[in-house]
Structure 1
Amino acid sequence: MSAFRVLSGAILGLAASVALAADPDQAIRASLTKLQPDMPIEAIAESPFTGLFQVHLKGGRLLYASADGQFLMQGNLYQMKGDEAVNLTRQAESKGIAKEINAIPTSEMVVFSPKEPAKAHITVFTDTDCGYCQKLHSEVPELNRRGIEVRYMAFPRQGIGSHGYNTLVSVWCAKDRQAAMNLAKSREDVPAATCTNPVAKQYELGQMVGVSGTPSIILGNGEMIPGYQPAPQLAEIALKAQ
């Protein structure tokens, strides 16, 4: 269940019946668990904005709350630094996402590495039936040539049990995952295979970190790029994100 499904507006005033706890952490947790008992709260801390607390959710996403837990906000918090507006929410979420993604062993991914040591890496949530995913895959050799390692994670857009899901399972269970991924991205049949695999787990993680479509590209610093980017532009962005 998405932690954000319960938040339909920018600010929600919670019912007065919510019992207030002795401190902000307890009060905020009480409010959020009343809204959604299984909300994946990892930590609650003061935000840079005085009086506003930030709630770190599993997967790196953020919510904001008042100290008494009576008001919640979903959105971006900016800080003016000179003439520039810095998105503090994006910075914090990117760190959380990077922590989640970089903790996953590459043995659970389909990895295309440069011949020389990689200068940077990207993690791509992919679906084999996605046209732009196929276009991006055709440029993997160019990304490798520019020193970018491409790490694929599964995100079957139509959900568990769909045609895309079954294809991704076959890719992950193939003896040669790279060859199987090449077949899938070329719209060719991948020999059916089953095994213990991380496809469902990766799909769930993708939803948790905010993936809503494919390809979704996670840079080394956790910043997410939704959608296809040409190889030269993507390589430049990836190198700057290390």
Structure 2
Amino acid sequence: MGFNRIFAAVALSLVSSLSLAADADEAIRKTLQSLQPDLPIEAIAESPMPGLYQVQLKGGRMLYASADGQFVMQGYLFQFKDGQAVNLTEQAESVAVAKTINAIPVSEMVVFAGKQPKTHITVFTDTDCGYCQKLHSEVPELNRLGVEVRYLAFPRQGLESQAAKELANVWCAKDSQEAMNRAKTQQSVADVECDNPVAKQFALGQMIGVSGTPAIVLANGKVIPGYQPAAQLAKIALESN
């Protein structure tokens, strides 16, 4: 077979593959949007598993679907290789979450940096959450161990709750660190109004799958649900950096 014929065969194969991918994209989108019209689809692509497509949602979460869109599933996709099981879903979601979280301006967070941070964690927090208060009491120890703590607001009872108002007061305070310290020790925080990011951060938390507080996001995007003691959390955070 001459070079021109080989080139034509390759080109035809590529066009065919692109056409199949486009058809799959359209079919999968049609199915998902019929289930939820406002589903925030970021991208659709072939997964490492032949015949299965991965649907990346805005914020990081992943769905899987058949090429014709008739089958959709949510769960973990593992690859077994050389006796090891690799969670491909968790890897992909962590990359997307890290990109999303690390793009948030630090000015929109309440940050406890410490003197020489080696890594950071981002914590979706509430004011009336007992384990959030416990974690906050260990922030100085986390800072001492080299972990910067960045807070995002997540009023788990909703934006009309008292906690949402308290979080807004914290973010609007002239000294947001001091206001956070007061809120986490069940002291009152002065009512202040400003253009705050509480609603936006709450929506972001829901988008990446946060359902309770504290929800801790490591620098690499891995989400740890729930409280972890300072020493253990610092070890995990530093090892994942």
Give TM-score, length-normalised by structure 1: 0.90
Structure 1 stretches of 4+ with a deviation exceeding 6 A read: none
Q: What are the equivalent positions in structure 2 for 1:160-179 lying under 5 Å apart?
A: 160-179=159-178
CA RMSD of aligned residues (A): 1.3
Number of equivalenced pairs: 222
Corresponding residue number in structure 1 for 2:92: 92
Partner SS for 2:123:
strand
Corresponding residue number in structure 2 for 1:200: 199
Deviation at 1:187, TM superposition (A): 0.6
Corresponding residue number in structure 2 for 1:5: none
Change in CA separation of 1:138 and 1:22 when aligned onto 2, cut-off 3 Å? closer
Corresponding residue number in structure 1 for 2:238: 239
Q: What are the equivalent positions in structure 2 for 1:9-28 lying under 5 Å apart?
A: 23-28=23-28
Q: Which amino acid aligns with 2:182?
A: L
Corresponding residue number in structure 2 for 1:145: 144
- Sequence identity of aligned pairs in percent? 70
Give TM-score, length-normalised by structure 2: 0.90
Counterpart check, 1:79 vs 2:82: no
Q: Which amino acid aligns with 2:178?
A: A
Higher percent of residues as helix: 2
Corresponding residue number in structure 2 for 1:50: 50
Separation in structure 1 between the aligned mates of residue 66 and residue 134 of structure 2, nearest angstrom = 45
Q: Which amino acid aligns with 2:85?
A: A
Q: What are the equivalent positions in structure 2 for 1:177-192 lying under 5 Å apart?
A: 177-192=176-191
Separation in structure 1 between the aligned mates of residue 132 and residue 22 of structure 2, nearest angstrom = 50
Deviation at 1:23, TM superposition (A): 1.1
Separation in structure 2 between the aligned mates of residue 74 and residue 22 of structure 1, nearest angstrom = 22
Deviation at 1:83, TM superposition (A): 2.2
Q: Where does structure 1 lack aligned partners over 5 or more consecutive residues?
A: 1-20
Q: Where does structure 2 lack aligned partners over 5 or more consecutive residues?
A: 1-20
Partner SS for 1:63:
strand
Corresponding residue number in structure 1 for 2:9: none
Separation in structure 2 between the aligned mates of residue 133 and residue 234 of structure 1, nearest angstrom = 14
The farther-off stretch of 210-219 and 33-42 is 33-42
Q: Which amino acid aligns with 2:224?
A: I
Q: Which amino acid aligns with 1:68?
A: D
Separation in structure 2 between the aligned mates of residue 72 and residue 203 of structure 1, nearest angstrom = 27
- For residues 63-104 of structure 1, give each alpha carbon's deviation from its aligned partner in whole angstroms, at most 9, with x where no partner exists: 000011111011110011222211110111111111110110
Deviation at 1:170, TM superposition (A): 0.2
Corresponding residue number in structure 2 for 1:228: 227
Separation in structure 2 between the aligned mates of residue 136 and residue 81 of structure 1, nearest angstrom = 38
Deviation at 1:22, TM superposition (A): 6.2
